[in-house]
Amino acid sequence: MSAEHHGAFGQDTFGRTAERVARFFGTPRYIIGQTVLVIVWIALNSMALAFRWDKYPFILLNLAFSTQAAYAAPLILLAQTRQADRDKASEMRAERHHEEENRLAEQRVAAIKAETDKLTQLLESNTDLTRQDKELTEQIAALTRQIHGLLTNR
């Protein structure tokens, strides 16, 4: 159980014990045990006519089941409520984790975009410098031809 759980009875001993008992009602061990008890009750009460403790046909057994049901139903509802609270808390943690992952992914995308923009700017600058270098080289070549032409004509 998580420390965050503050359901119907919180983390007190009654709530934890009630939930354990309610969960036990759904186990195969309980169902098999109850079935054996009912079979033994019916068999002993049917065979021992003189010593039967349930004089009217199984009224005491019916009363025991009714009493058990009166306690079992709220305990089962309590267990379901507490489990629903835990499930809700778990879903909220998963949602927060998902939101955090999305936020981090958005940050990574923004960082990649910023780096891509920087690289694009550097490539554009490099292209401009290359163009300027070409223009200057062409100007130098033209000037060199002019100088050469002037020097060779004298």
| Residue 3 confidence (pLDDT) | 47
pTM: 0.51
Cα angle value 8/13/19 (rounded, 5°) = 55
In a domain, 130, yes or no: yes
For the chain, give the mean pLDDT: 85
In a domain, 8, yes or no: no
> Burial letters for 72-101: b for 16+ Cβ neighbours within 10 Å, e otherwise?
beebbebbeebeebeeeeeeeeeeeeeeee
In a domain, 82, yes or no: yes
In a domain, 26, yes or no: yes
| Residue 76 confidence (pLDDT) | 80
* Residue type for position 26: G
Q: How many domains does the chain have?
A: 1
pLDDT in tens, 30-77: 888 888 988 888 888 777 666 666 777 678 888 888 988 888 888 788
In a domain, 49, yes or no: yes
Label residue 11 by pLDDT band (50, 70, 90): low
Rounded distance between C-alpha atoms, residue 29 and residue 73, angstroms: 19
